Structure 1
Amino acid sequence: MSDPARGGPFSGERLAEVLTGVCAAAGLDPEGATLIKCTANAVFRLASAPVVVRIGASTALNHRVEKVVHVATWLAEHDVPAVRLLPGVPQPVTYDGYVATVWEAVPDGGRRPRGRDLGKLLRRIHDLPEPASWLPPWLPLADVAARIGEAADLADADLAFLQDRHDEVADQLARLEFPSPPSLVHGDAHLGNLIPGPAGPVVCDFDSSSLGPAEWDLTPLAVGVIRFGEPAGRYRELARTYGMDVTRWRGFPVLRAVRELKLITSVLPIIGTRPAIRAELLRRIADVRSGNTSARWARYT
């Protein structure tokens, strides 16, 4: 386990301490905060103000938080419906090796986002002018490699399999030629990253944003239908509204393999403190190892 003095896997007590430290640095009150999600990030909604605090669990990926701030600022400048950074707080906020961002909470209300909403937002994002040099190139397996490298409490055989799978998929990906020109891509574009709001859905979570192929942003929902049993109509809405069906492209099986590897490894930094997640992680590894391409997975919670 990482030295907690320099960040590291979350425990309940450590997480409360980090939230308190981040809020102190940002001039906020953590009392009564609600933990919304804790996988690759711990996400809190404060009770004292309409604010969301997002703390990265993987210290190996701290470097990408600066990019998240740039992307959020860029989308705001172009009036794209997206979550907004909290004004008046220098971002990102650091505390004891952890890096956090602080956001305006989206007001309650609004209908549940649909595939067509995601299609409209992705088309708008992909049609933006090419951002400045702060946007990194699309390297979808970089976070996978980082998480494998810092994984704790996983059997050597499983780690070796994940490393071999990473190398195999990376080789396949390097040989792909994409039909779309590079653009800003969200990087993790599924319906769970759309938040309902009174004025319509807004997009969140820019950890994986980069300059890359539009086809990548159409992949998560397609894989969600296959692996999580999401209604196929959601993906059909996305494809119809956006104007492309990535599942009909010859490179889709490779993009699917990349997406599944990311879905497997996203929780590696925290499995030592989240026993409930371990069983699902090991099941996903077993399915890929055995070549079971139709097995349904459960969401990490």
Structure 2
Amino acid sequence: MRSPDELAARTDRASRAATEAARELGLTVTAPRTIYDVFSVVVALDPAPVIARVPTVLPRSVTPAQQERFQRNELAVTRWLAERGEPTVVPSPLVPAEPVRRDGFGITFWELIEGVTEPALETGPRLALTARLHSLLREYPGELRFLEPMDGFMDDALAQLADRPDLLAPEDLDRARREWAIVEPVIASEDAFLAEFPDATIQPVHGDAPYYNLIETPGRVYFSDFEHVTRAPVEWDLVSIGDEGVAAYDAEAARLGLRPVDPRVLRFMESVRNLQVVGCLALAPELPLLVEGLKPVLEHWRATEPAGGLGK
């Protein structure tokens, strides 16, 4: 596990890389401030109205080329939404809208949103906004891969966890391997998925809880954090929303001409997401807070039906 001093040094390196890259791009940065530090270090590049995001904790399976593709996809999707007048965090217009590689970090630069408030939206409005986002994204013309965040991730994560019984108990590892053997062939491609779920629709989706990744201001609510934008069924974005959330989403989906949530697809997507969380334990040496933070999710996973009941 990384020590507190090692974590602080990594944060400093990321902040320094973002600041130096920004200056090379012509921004005036005199007082950079780290405003967030978990999987990414987020730096306010004062006095420039620009935010830098520097991913620091990535799965070992993510290559620099794949990370760049993720970042280019995010930049492209957010710019496309903004061009249509949709409220979304957008790439900073003060620098080129492309990732920058500096000191081993992949860095993107974003426009500062002023007047951010504490989250206040209730479940209903959050899920209504998610349905609206899906209605917009189904028209997105850019090329995205199917469930790319899972590509190569689980095999490598489970291989790492095989040597870390302190992070994942052997009986849990055995269950995860058996469950992944059922899940992996289904999500190997869009065709494989549709063969199992022929009524599902595959489209561009946010990729990581869009109902949670909202930025609120007194006048607007902004979509944010499209780091894992991908092609998938909409249920990939709706894991763990509960019955109230499903009802709120379905009501807005009906108004927008979208299909309602498919309970069978949702159960399966929840099983895939649970496995992803299990795999995230492999990141704990780089992010020790995951050990305690993921315990409730692991308890929930142990109580669920493997693979969402698939393969029975």
TM-score, normalising length: structure 2: 0.72
In structure 1, distance between residues paired with 2:45 and 2:225:
18
* Partner residue of 1:195 out of 215, 223, 228: 215
| Counterpart AA for 2:263 | W
Please report how far the alpha carbon of residue 273 of structure 1 lies from its aligned counterpart in structure 2 after TM superposition.
Answer: 3.8
CA deviations 1:24-79 (Å, max 9, x no partner) are 1122537351332413x333344534432211221615242222122122222222
Aligned to 1:43: 42
Aligned to 1:66: 72
2:91 counterpart of 1:81: no
Please report how far the alpha carbon of residue 250 of structure 1 lies from its aligned counterpart in structure 2 after TM superposition.
Answer: 2.4
* Partner residue of 1:112 out of 114, 120, 123: 120
Which ranges in structure 1 are unaligned for 5 or more consecutive residues? 3-9, 226-231, 295-301
In structure 1, distance between residues paired with 2:290 and 2:30:
26
Please report how far the alpha carbon of residue 234 of structure 1 lies from its aligned counterpart in structure 2 after TM superposition.
Answer: 4.5
Work out whether residues 127 and 249 of structure 2, in 8 Å CA contact, stay in contact via their aligned partners in 1.
yes
CA deviations 1:212-239 (Å, max 9, x no partner) are 323333x23xx144xxxxxx64453233
Work out whether residues 80 and 124 of structure 1, in 8 Å CA contact, stay in contact via their aligned partners in 2.
no
Please report how far the alpha carbon of residue 88 of structure 1 lies from its aligned counterpart in structure 2 after TM superposition.
Answer: 2.6
Check 1:275–1:144 CA distance in 2 against 1; reply closer, same or farther (3 A cut). Answer: same
Report % sequence identity: 23
2:137 counterpart of 1:131: no
Aligned to 1:154: 164
Q: How does 1:207-226 map to 2 (within 5 A)?
A: 207-217=227-237, 219-220=238-239, 223-225=240-242
In structure 1, distance between residues paired with 2:15 and 2:30:
7
2:285 counterpart of 1:272: yes
Work out whether residues 193 and 205 of structure 1, in 8 Å CA contact, stay in contact via their aligned partners in 2.
yes
Check 1:276–1:240 CA distance in 2 against 1; reply closer, same or farther (3 A cut). Answer: same
| Counterpart AA for 1:184 | P
Work out whether residues 21 and 95 of structure 1, in 8 Å CA contact, stay in contact via their aligned partners in 2.
yes
Please report how far the alpha carbon of residue 210 of structure 1 lies from its aligned counterpart in structure 2 after TM superposition.
Answer: 1.8
Aligned to 1:237: 248
The root-mean-square deviation of aligned C-alpha atoms, in Å, is 3.4
CA deviations 1:236-271 (Å, max 9, x no partner) are 32332223552x5322221110122223434633x1
CA deviations 1:118-154 (Å, max 9, x no partner) are 4235334434564345322334522633761785783
Deviates more, 1:205-214 or 1:236-245: 236-245
| Counterpart AA for 2:87 | P
| Counterpart AA for 1:15 | T
Check 1:109–1:277 CA distance in 2 against 1; reply closer, same or farther (3 A cut). Answer: closer
The count of corresponding residues between Structure 1 and Structure 2 is: 273
Aligned to 1:262: 276
Does the residue aligned with 1:189 lie in a helix, a strand or coil? Answer: coil
Deviates more, 1:138-147 or 1:52-61: 138-147
Please report how far the alpha carbon of residue 193 of structure 1 lies from its aligned counterpart in structure 2 after TM superposition.
Answer: 0.5
Which ranges in structure 2 are unaligned for 5 or more consecutive residues? 188-192, 306-312
Work out whether residues 88 and 222 of structure 2, in 8 Å CA contact, stay in contact via their aligned partners in 1.
yes
Does the residue aligned with 1:85 lie in a helix, a strand or coil? Answer: coil
Work out whether residues 53 and 107 of structure 2, in 8 Å CA contact, stay in contact via their aligned partners in 1.
yes
Work out whether residues 26 and 93 of structure 1, in 8 Å CA contact, stay in contact via their aligned partners in 2.
no
Aligned to 1:250: 264
Does the residue aligned with 1:11 lie in a helix, a strand or coil? Answer: helix
Aligned to 2:100: 93
| Counterpart AA for 1:106 | I
Work out whether residues 116 and 234 of structure 1, in 8 Å CA contact, stay in contact via their aligned partners in 2.
no
Check 1:44–1:192 CA distance in 2 against 1; reply closer, same or farther (3 A cut). Answer: farther
Check 1:54–1:118 CA distance in 2 against 1; reply closer, same or farther (3 A cut). Answer: farther
Work out whether residues 32 and 46 of structure 1, in 8 Å CA contact, stay in contact via their aligned partners in 2.
yes
Check 1:30–1:65 CA distance in 2 against 1; reply closer, same or farther (3 A cut). Answer: farther
Does the residue aligned with 2:47 lie in a helix, a strand or coil? Answer: coil
Please report how far the alpha carbon of residue 293 of structure 1 lies from its aligned counterpart in structure 2 after TM superposition.
Answer: 3.1
| Counterpart AA for 1:256 | E
Aligned to 2:190: none
Work out whether residues 43 and 52 of structure 2, in 8 Å CA contact, stay in contact via their aligned partners in 1.
yes
Larger Rg: 2
In structure 2, distance between residues paired with 1:250 and 1:274:
34
Does the residue aligned with 1:67 lie in a helix, a strand or coil? Answer: helix
Does the residue aligned with 1:168 lie in a helix, a strand or coil? Answer: helix
